[in-house]
């Protein structure tokens, strides 16, 4: 049963990020129109959808974003939580859309990318948009029922305790959530397979220490710490080494052309009309396992639901 979908609504992007090559894409001819998006979300495959994460590219570049969100709300009435991911280029539009989302969904989370202190953020993003980030975070944190999250992606340049502390302090200042992940390569999403993004073991150790000291209450970051320290993610791999990731069964990734994949690392598409969960075999064709928030959170939620059910019986 698909509960969680990350939908990249466009590959258009106005940044020039060093770690992500989506901005280099120039052919947008197969991007779904609003009515095609309506058709997609009308399928029974999405009827149990609970959480939608809108991403891109830069999703706020789509002029019809409002229509897309209203349509998803109409076609999938069980969706109660929406994530809006942005590089903060369009603060006024983002604020309006946030207001709209609070009237449609129980939870609205605005996830704003900030990759470190001002010069480093601007350097990594290839555009000077640090001030837009601050302006958006400041204003959005004042909207009732909108949760703001500062989201940092770590590569060699910004994987420093100073940058981590800086973004964490800013999050605190605006009562925002704070999360980060290591930059990774993905042929099918970030289109950056040729990049070498691995940070040194020494830096990873520093990150593990940072999480231990500062992020005790963040379930995903605790798992990331465990992964750095032991090289294992028990949530994804069981004792026998069998993959128990729920990609394609509990959560999916949707490309701008409407192709539905188990996750952003996967080359496979799911036949949403003749869906057979048992056909989704993981780890054979994609790089696996990963340790990204979009995989971990749906599995944490799934386990909580399972425990709740067991408690009742
Ligand atoms: C691809 S962006 C799309 C939304 C928006 N354009 C933005 O930058 O926030 C979604 C998230 O992926 C992160 N990201 C970019 N490149 C990445 C990479 N190579 N590995 C992991 N995360 C990455 C971004 O920092 C951002 O937080
Ligand atoms: S991370 Fe976001 S802003 Fe940067 S190139 Fe990728 S899609 Fe664009
Ligand atoms: S790459 Fe990650 S999200 Fe994708 S199937 Fe493997 S563990 Fe799951």
Confidence of residue 278 (pLDDT cuts 50, 70, 90): low
Instruction: Write the CB contacts of 287 (distance below 8 Å, at least 6 apart in sequence).
Output: 265
Mutate to test the pocket of ligand 2, among 6, 19, 58 (most ligand atoms within 8 A of CB): 58
Kindly give the distance from the C-alpha atom of residue 4 to the centroid of ligand 2, in angstroms, as a whole number. 22
Range of the domain at 165: 4-312
Q: For a pLDDT cut of 90, what percent of the chain falls above it?
A: 83
Q: How far is the CA of 5 from the centre of ligand 3 (A)?
A: 14
* Confidence band for 42, pLDDT divided at 50, 70 and 90: very high
Distance 311 CA to ligand 1 centre (A): 38
Question: Residue of the nearest CA to atom 1 in ligand 3?
Answer: 288
Q: Name residue, tokens 């052309």.
A: 257
Whether residue 123 is predicted with pLDDT greater than 90 in this model: the reply is yes
Phi, psi of 273 (to 5 degrees): -85, -35
Nearest Cα residue to atom 6 of ligand 2: 20
Q: What is the mean pLDDT of the chain?
A: 94
Q: Which residue has the tokens 């605005």?
A: 110
Determine whether the shortest distance from the Cβ of 247 to ligand 3 is under 6 A: yes
Residue 65 in tokens = 């974003």
Judge contact between 174 and 141, C-beta under 8 A: yes
- Whether ligand 3 lies within 6 angstroms of the CB of 295 is answered as yes
Whether 158 shows a pLDDT value over 70: the answer reads yes
Confidence at 276, pLDDT banded by 50, 70, 90: confident
Higher pLDDT, 170 or 243: 170
Q: What is the pLDDT of residue 311?
A: 78
Residue 133 belongs to domain with CATH number? 3.20.20.70
**Counted domains in the chain:** 1
């Amino acid at each position: 049963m698909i509960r969680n979908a990350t939908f990249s609504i466009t590959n258009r992007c106005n940044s020039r990020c060093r770690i992500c090559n989506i901005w280099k894409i120039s052919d947008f001819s197969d991007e779904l129109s609003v009515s095609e998006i309506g058709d997609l979300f009308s399928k029974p495959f999405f009827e149990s959808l609970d959480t939608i994460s809108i991403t891109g590219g830069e999703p706020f570049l789509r002029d019809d974003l409002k229509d897309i969100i209203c349509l998803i709300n109409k076609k999938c009435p069980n969706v109660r939580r929406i994530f809006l991911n942005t590089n903060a280029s369009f603060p006024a539009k983002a604020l309006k859309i946030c207001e709209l989302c609070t009237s449609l969904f129980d939870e609205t989370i605005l996830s704003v990318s900030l990759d470190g202190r001002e010069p480093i953020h601007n350097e990594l993003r290839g555009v000077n948009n640090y001030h837009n980030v601050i302006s958006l975070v400041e204003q959005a944190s004042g909207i009732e029922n909108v949760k703001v999250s500062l989201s940092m992606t770590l590569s060699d340049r910004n994987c420093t305790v100073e940058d981590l502390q800086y973004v964490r302090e800013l999050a605190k200042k605006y009562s925002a959530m704070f999360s980060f992940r290591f930059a990774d390569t993905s042929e099918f999403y970030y289109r950056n397979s040729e990049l070498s993004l691995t940070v040194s073991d020494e830096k990873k150790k520093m990150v593990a220490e940072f999480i231990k000291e500062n992020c005790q209450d963040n379930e995903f970051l605790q798992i990331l710490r465990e992964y750095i320290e032991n090289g294992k993610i028990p949530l994804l791999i069981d004792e026998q080494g069998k993959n128990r990731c729920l990609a394609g069964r509990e959560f999916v990734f949707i490309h701008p052309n409407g192709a539905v994949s188990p996750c952003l690392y996967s080359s496979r598409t799911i036949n949403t009309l003749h869906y057979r969960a048992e056909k989704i075999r993981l780890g054979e064709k994609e790089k696996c396992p990963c340790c990204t928030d979009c995989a971990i959170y749906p599995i944490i939620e799934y386990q909580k639901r399972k425990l709740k059910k067991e408690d009742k019986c």
